[in-house]
Each structure stands twice: as C-alpha cells, then as structure tokens.
Amino acid sequence: MCRSDASFRAWVVSLVALVSLCLPAGPAAAQSDTGEIVINVIDATTKKPLADARAILVGPQTASSLTTAAGVIQYTDVPIGIYRIRVLKRGYEAGVSKEFDVLPDRAVTVSVGLALSTGGLKVIGTVTAHSSIGVSSSDINENSPIRRLSDSLTDALDKIAGVSITQDTTDPNGPVTISLNGHDESQTAVTLDGIPLSAPGSAANLRSIGTDLFTGSSVSTSPSAGALGGGVNFRTLQPTQALQIKMQGTTGTFDRSNEQFAATGSIGSLGIAVEHTDRDANSPLTFQDYEDQSGLTYPHEGYSQRLSAPALPLGRRPDDRQRHGVDEQSAQLFDLRAGRDGVALRHRP
C-alpha cells in the first residue's frame, strides 16, 4: 500500500508538470495596426519652410491638409500600408514623393522641397534687383538754352522734367506755385540765395516774389525736413569789381514786352548790383465789347503790367588778406528779403 501511494503521487506530479508546460506562461501583448506620418515642406532654393502648402496623402487612407507656419503636417493613427504624398502650392511646381511603407508603431518622416514655377521655361540665369533712390539736380542761368527759349525764368523751370509750375489761368492775380516730382507744393522748399522764402510745410507764391529780378535758379530733388519733394533756389545779381551795365528787351505779339536794366560794379570796398525789370502783356480780347446777362455791354480789358522794383544788393569786397587765402568771410552789409514788388533790403547791425 505504501508503494502504491508513492507511485500515485509521482504520477500526479508528472501530470501537473506536463499540463504546466502545455499552458501559456502569460497573456501576450496586443500589437498596434497604425503608424504615424510627419511631412516637412520647404523651399528648394532658400531651404525655408513653406506655410499653407497643401499635402494630399494617397494610400489605404486619404487625407488633405495645409502646412503650418513651420511647414509641417503630422498625421497620427495612420493605418499601415503603402502611401505616397503630393504637395501643391501657388507659385511652385507640384512635388510627389516616392511610395513608402507605414509600419505598426513606427513614424515615417517625409521631406518635400518645392521649386519655384517657371511656367514651363528653363531657367538659365537669375537677376536680383534692388530698390534705389535717385537724386537729381538742374541749373538754369541766363545763358542756358532752355532760358533763351522761355519767356521768363518760371517758364524755363516748367520745362524741366519733374518740375511743375501751377497757376490759375482764370485769375491773372492768382498764386503761382511750384512742385517737384508730383509732390504737393507745400513739400517744395523755395529759397533766395539760401534764404527761405516760405515757412516749412507751406507753399511759396512765386507771383509775390518777383522772379524777373533773379539771374538763375537751381533745382534739387534731395528731400529735407519740411520739403520731401526737394527745393528750388533762386539767385540774385552779384556785384563785380569792374563796372558792368546790361540792358536788354524783348517784344512779341499782343503787346508782349520785357525790359531789363542791370548794373554791377564796386566803389572802393563796397560792391553794388542794381537791377530793374518791366514786363507788359495784352490780350487779343482787349477793347472787345461783351454783353452780360443784364443786357449791359462793357469793353474787355486784358492789359497787364508787372513792374519789379529795383534790387540793390550791397556787399563788402574781400580785402587783401582774404584774397591771399586767409579763412575770413566778408560780412554782409544788407540782408535780402522777398517782398511783393521785388527784393527788399534790410541793414544788418
């Protein structure tokens, strides 16, 4: 009996061991059936990320999305399989990736570089253009061809490219203003021998300055504070060492005429320049009778006269030390100021 019990127990142990070997050791971990796709879209030339590029995912699952500002699109929980990507953006050639596999629990990164569209043309070279600002200047004097072909200095200025002289044709006494390169008249600085003739930001009325007394002018399109369009500088007659007298006149149709008298010289160390002008004009309608709405008739008067008061700039001639290179500026005895009838003088204390 004891031997039988021992045999029975050995048989049971063997059976239990056999069953333990046949049963699995533990539950198997479940495997995922999805993966992940990350798409990076860049400019093929600059290597910078492209935002708002549309990426189309083609495969067991299709999708369409726009790239972020960093040029990235990320797809998660993508079913496993074979995929390819097509990327589109305005102004660029379309890009198509090769086929790739999405494996379980794996991430696939796809980088796409888009080239600028050339419309089917072959690029054989590139040119880079940079913005530039041009500053020009013009000068008119009494010997300039444009001045000889013009009736007045303002007419000559109006013939320069970029210079516009504006006046009211219906009002003979209306203001005459100047503008440069399409800027407002208030953005044009007008000076007389460097002295401003108007406040910054306000337009100068050339009719009240008496431009017939000026020997020339220079135009600069360089912007400055209060004058974004540039500036126009008028020049006056300057004294000379020897006595010089100049008289000239012009005449034309409709009683148009212009007379000018100028004298320059020196008395001792005092330089003198005297100038006087007279401009007359008429109209073809002068002395013609017209009837208004009241039934009354009146003669048309179109005669006009512009008389510029004498200008007398005075200055002290340089002494011997200045002529030999000593850095001393001669003092001005008088300041020039523009008035309605011409150029006024003010003694400098």
Spatial distance between the Cα atoms of 340 and 206, rounded to a whole number of angstroms: 10
For the stretch 240-289, pLDDT in tens is 888 888 888 877 776 777 788 888 888 888 888 888 888 777 777 777 77
What per-residue confidence (pLDDT) applies to 6?
58
Residue 17 has pLDDT above 90, yes or no: no
* Residue 155 CB coordination number (10 Å): 14
Spatial distance between the Cα atoms of 63 and 37, rounded to a whole number of angstroms: 12
Lowest mean pLDDT among 12-16, 58-62, 205-209, 272-276: 12-16
| Structural domain spans, the chain | 34-114, 134-235, 237-349
Architecture of domain 134-235: Beta Complex (2.170)
Helix (H) or strand (E) holding 158: helix 153-158
For the stretch 205-231, pLDDT in tens is 888 777 778 888 889 888 887 888 889
Spatial distance between the Cα atoms of 283 and 301, rounded to a whole number of angstroms: 8
pTM over 0.75: no
In the block, tokens 């208004």 appear at 292
In the block, tokens 């600059």 appear at 46
Q: How many contiguous H segments (helices) and E segments (strands) does the chain have?
A: 4, 24
- Say how many CA atoms lie within 13 Å of 250 toward its Cβ: 12
Question: In 164-279, where does DSSP find H-type helix?
Answer: none
Residue 140 near residue 147, CB atoms below 8 Å: yes
**154 CB-contact burial (10 Å; exposed 0-12 / middle 13-18 / buried 19+):** buried
Decide the pairing of beta strands 304-311 and 314-316: unpaired
Residue 87 has pLDDT above 90, yes or no: yes
pLDDT band for position 88 (cuts 50, 70, 90): very high
For the stretch 297-340, pLDDT in tens is 777 666 666 666 555 555 555 544 333 333 333 333 333 333 33
What per-residue confidence (pLDDT) applies to 341?
39
Residue 177 near residue 206, CB atoms below 8 Å: yes
Spatial distance between the Cα atoms of 229 and 225, rounded to a whole number of angstroms: 10
Strand partners, 137: 220
DSSP string, 93-148: --EEPPPEEE-TT-EEEEEEEEPBP-TTPPP-------------EEEEETT-HHHH
In the block, tokens 């974004």 appear at 228
Question: From its phi and psi, is residue 77 left (phi > 0), alpha (psi between -120 and 50) or beta?
Answer: left
Spatial distance between the Cα atoms of 280 and 172, rounded to a whole number of angstroms: 13
For the stretch 146-180, pLDDT in tens is 888 887 888 888 888 888 888 866 666 778 889 98
What per-residue confidence (pLDDT) applies to 39?
93
Residue 186 has pLDDT above 80, yes or no: yes
CA dihedral 208, 209, 215, 218 (to 10 degrees): -110
Spatial distance between the Cα atoms of 3 and 7, rounded to a whole number of angstroms: 6
Strand partners, 249: 259
What per-residue confidence (pLDDT) applies to 248?
80
What per-residue confidence (pLDDT) applies to 27?
45
Q: 34-114 maps to which CATH number? A: 2.60.40.10
Residue in 60, 12, 15 with CA at minimum distance from that of residue 37: 60
Decide the pairing of beta strands 230-236 and 188-192: parallel
Strand partners, 346: 335
Task: Say which residue, 346 or 103, is predicted with more confidence.
Answer: 103
**What one-letter code names the amino acid at 293?**
Q
Strand partners, 338: 343
Radius of gyration of the CA atoms of the chain, in A: 46
What per-residue confidence (pLDDT) applies to 12?
53
Q: Is 187 helix (H, G, I), strand (E, B) or coil?
A: helix
Q: What would the two tokens of residue 41 be? A: 């879209």
